[in-house]
Amino acid sequence: MSLAALILGCAGPVLTRAEQRLFARAAPWGFILFARNVVDQAQLCRLTDDLRQAAGHDAPVFVDQEGGTVQRLRPPLARDWPDASAQRGGLPAIRLRHRLMAAELRACGIDGNCAPVIDVASAGTHPFLQRRIWPGDAQAVADAGRAAAEGLLAGGVLPVIKHLPGHGAADGDSHHALPRIRAPLADLMARDFVPVRALSDMALGMTAHVVIEALDPDRPATLSPVVLAYLRRDLGFDGLLMTDDLCMNALGGPMADRAAQAWAAGCDLALHCSGDLAEMTALAEAAPPLVGPALGRATRALAARQPAQPIDIAAAQAELDRLTG
């Protein structure tokens, strides 16, 4: 079957008939869930099953489960994880944290996580993003991102590295306005782009809604053929590339126009998170099918989704407590 170059949300904890009809017609490649979609484990398992059934294929279901500031599943469905900036215990703890996190997600039918954040903090990083960034220099962030991704993959969950090619040097929060990065390219290459190069083998990545003036002063990375070509060619990322949420205020114009610009720029998938039925319908009508190189990247991404390796949850939690105590 032909799949649309889309990742879509839904409005609540149960699919409406209108959503079922739309997803059956559109066949989006994947879905994303938010706190508004969460009641309990049994409900989430039903919802994820219903999403896949409506789309007509084994669609990946994503969530933003970074921990701390950005964590859609909370106790009792998931541990109350700290922000990345507050994580103790080094790389072994980061790996264990994400292995346990993967077990929590898989128990609810979720097999994709829009994490880890591999942005690098700088003096002007917005506090909302700062809390979500692993501490240390660019190489430390790259190492933490690798450990997080390994933990998720071991638990059968697809990681999505973000925000490509880097958001840390931006002067604002893209949820509210369009930030800009004014740093020279040499500085970005020595800092912000280091984790991207180091993790360029990852199967999935998410773009940044930021203007990188040294590459394209006129368009945010998500909508910039120049920036996305640089990401592919110079930074070596050949994974499946999804936009950050098209609903964010960093972007303007009709939703279908935002998506069209993103696809034209080189994004493989348009991500729409609000669950607004009218906007999703417009996107479904405009969405191209996944074909060519984008389809190849999507196929490789799904091939990275492996069954969870065996784990003793109690022993893993005890070891994590020891590492972070």
Q: CA–CA separation, 134 vs 14, rounded Å?
A: 35
**CB neighbour list of residue 279: distance below 8 Å, 6 or more residues apart:** 247, 255, 272
Q: Do residues 159 and 148 touch, judged by C-beta distance below 8 A?
A: yes
SS3 208: coil
SS3 181: strand
Q: CA–CA separation, 47 vs 43, rounded Å?
A: 6
Q: Do residues 240 and 297 touch, judged by C-beta distance below 8 A?
A: yes
Peptide bond into 116 cis (omega under 30): yes
Catalytic pick from 175, 187, 234, 276?
175
Is the Cα dihedral 249, 253, 255, 260 positive or negative?
Answer: negative
175 is catalytic: yes
Catalytic pick from 64, 119, 216, 244?
244
Beta bridge partners of 113: 63, 159
Is the Cα dihedral 249, 173, 68, 303 positive or negative?
Answer: positive
Nearest-Å Rg of the Cα atoms of the chain is: 18
Known catalytic residues are 175, 244
